[in-house]
A and B are shown apart, each in its own frame.
Chain A
Amino acid sequence: MTIEQIQGDEYAIEYDRAAHAVRLSGTVRLQTSDDYAPITALLQRAHDEAAGGPLSLDFRRLQFLNSSGISTVSRFVINARKQDQVALTVLGNRDIYWQQKSLGNLQKLWPKVQIEIV
């Protein structure tokens, strides 16, 4: 089992290859799109390795994401829609208010996305 991790000062992003899951935690409020590039690359790699099967994005421990981060995740979902190769599930946390309010936007970008807010 391999787990690949991007560790920041206030966040961690973990790609669990065996589980086909990318888990985000903490507060992700990076400055520039260059700062987001490693996250975009990790998501893309997880996507490509999950092709033909399921992939989950787990936001349940993600307290905050700024608009640059929302944009990064949204572009990933649009690109996944265009390729149409994975069954994408997004996991959210009902106690984290922005997730209740904004995670549904990802499904509007790609109606095949499953959103599970628990």
Chain B
Amino acid sequence: MSQIQTYGAWEEPGAAPALSHQWMALDAGQLVAHWRRCSLSADFWARYAALFVPSPAPPGRLARQELEHVLSYLLNELFENCAKFSGGSIGAVRFAAWFRPDSLDFAFTNHIAPESQPAFARFIEELLDGDPEELYFRRLEESAETGAKGSGLGYLTMIKDYGIRFGFRFEPVADDSVAVTVQAHVHLEENQG
């Protein structure tokens, strides 16, 4: 088994103090079988987290309703990814959230088959190294040309339109299973982009 590998804005979960911490355990197969649970979970946690910010928001901060919208989009994409891209012998999905004074940090862990790791790692490197604006439009043009699904569009929207930063971690946990954790860091300042 290979070593733990991290990419992008990976932060050790306990490194910075959090005002509060929540988590939830799910199952990838159940999310696929009952697809609207992705949307339902996203909406629940988006509303739950958005109550954390005062209303009206202090100057320069995202308003509660805007934050709720951003989070609902973000969390739904990440729940959907856990459903779509799980494989190998372990189906466990774990959602975790840390609320900090200036940011909301989320982590989604799911499991993939080891042979899926290299392609996912290449995708992550392209996502983190490229120009998100250029990559977003190139992916869409390619997808219109070839009928492909335009993969990565969810991440690119979140990076480009909402300024969300991502970290990734691969950890082999069994001969036929690698735990993948995606971290999303949402800053509470208004993104002028």
Chain A residues lying within 8 Å of B144, measured Cβ to Cβ, are 74-75, 78-79
Chain B residues lying within 8 Å of A98, measured Cβ to Cβ, are 69-70, 73, 161
The stretch of B8-16, B89-97, B114-122, B135-143 in contact with A is B135-143
A87 to B141, CA, bound (A): 20
B39 touches A29 (CB 8 A): yes
In which size bucket is the chain A interface? Answer: 20 to 34
B80 touches A10 (CB 8 A): no
B69 touches A67 (CB 8 A): no
One of A9, A31, A68, A102 near B161 (C-beta < 8 A): A102
A71 touches B149 (CB 8 A): yes
> Beyond A97-B66, A109-B137, A109-B140, is A71–B150 a contact (Cβ under 8 Å)?
yes
A33 touches B73 (CB 8 A): no
B81's nearest neighbour on chain A, judged by CB, is: A67
A9's nearest neighbour on chain B, judged by CB, is: B36
A66 touches B76 (CB 8 A): yes
Q: Does B176 contact A (CB under 8 A)?
A: no
Chain B residues lying within 8 Å of A117, measured Cβ to Cβ, are none
Extra 10 A-B pairs, beta carbons < 8 Å, given A67-B154, A98-B70, A101-B162: A29-B76, A31-B35, A64-B72, A67-B153, A67-B157, A71-B149, A97-B69, A105-B161, A108-B137, A109-B137
Shortest Cβ-Cβ A-B pairs, 3 listed: A67-B154, A97-B69, A78-B144
Complex A-B: 12 CB contacts under 8 Å: A10-B36, A27-B39, A31-B32, A64-B76, A70-B153, A71-B143, A75-B140, A75-B144, A98-B73, A105-B136, A105-B137, A105-B161
